[in-house]
Amino acid sequence: MLAIVAAIVFGIAFLLDLLNASIGIGLTALLALGLCLLALHQGGVGTAGAGSWRGGWRRARR
């Protein structure tokens, strides 16, 4: 989930850079936010319950 949010933040930052637009937040701040979200995703934050809604696919393979 965090990786998807990071991709959206990077996409917004890219579009703002292409259009030379500003939303009150600097481009560097958006890139830092995206990198923080990717770091949290890589660290495993927000993925604790990811397997529970799938019905235990690991048990089904055994």
Q: What is the pLDDT of residue 46?
A: 78
Which residue carries 């934050």 as its tokens? 45
| pLDDT value at residue 56 | 52
Regarding pTM above 0.75, the answer is: no
Residues 56, 44, 55: CA angle, nearest 5 degrees: 10
pLDDT of the residue at 49:
59
Listed in sequence order, the residues at least 6 apart from 36 whose beta carbon sits closer than 8 Å to its beta carbon are none
What is the pLDDT, as a whole number, of residue 47?
A: 72
User: What pLDDT, on a 0 to 100 scale, did the predictor assign at position 23?
Assistant: 86
Mean of the per-residue pLDDT values of the chain = 82
pLDDT averaged over 10-residue windows placed end to end, the chain, 62 residues: 91 92 88 93 78 55 58
